[in-house]
Amino acid sequence: MFAVLKTGGKQYKVQAGDILRVEKLAAAAGDKIQFNEILMVGGDSVTVGVPLVAGAAVQAEVIAQIKGEKTIHYVKRRRKHSSQRTKGHRQHLTLLRVTDVLASGADASGVMAATGTADARRAAHNAAPAPVTEAPAKPKRAAKAAVAAKE
C-alpha cells in the first residue's frame, strides 16, 4: 500500500519502510508523528482526495534532525565594480522512517500530528497573548499631581 503525502510544500510518494528527508519538523529524534494531509492512497484500489483523503494518514518515526548539503551562492558585480561575494547555506531537514500507511481511522490513532517549525512557532505565538500591564507612574509627575491636589 502506498500514499502521496504533502509536507513542507512538497509531495512524497511513500510506503511502509521508506526513509525520507523532509523540511524540518517540530519533533525530536525517536518521536512518532502522523501526516494527515494525504492526497492519494493506493494499493488494491486507488483513492484520490478532493483535495485530501478523509481519515487517511501516514505514520512515521523521526530518526534524526540533520542538515542538508551545503549550497554555494556566488555573486559578482561586473564592469567598474570589482566586488564579489560567496554565501553558503545548509538547509535544516528531518530524517524519517515511514512505519504505517492508514487508509482510514487516522482520527482515533492518538499519534502526534506532524507540524513544521514555522507552524509550531505560529501556534505558540497565537496561543499565548502577551499580558497587558500598566506602566508605573513617573515619580515627578506623581509628586506634581499630589501638590496640585493639595492646592
Q: What is the CA radius of gyration of the chain?
A: 26
Reported pTM: 0.71
Question: Is residue 130 very low, low, confident or very high in pLDDT (cuts 50, 70, 90)?
Answer: low
Residue with cell 517540530: 26
Is the Cβ–Cβ distance between 98 and 21 less than 8 Å? no
pLDDT in tens, 59-87: 999 999 999 999 999 988 888 778 899 99
pLDDT in tens, 104-124: 888 878 888 888 877 767 777
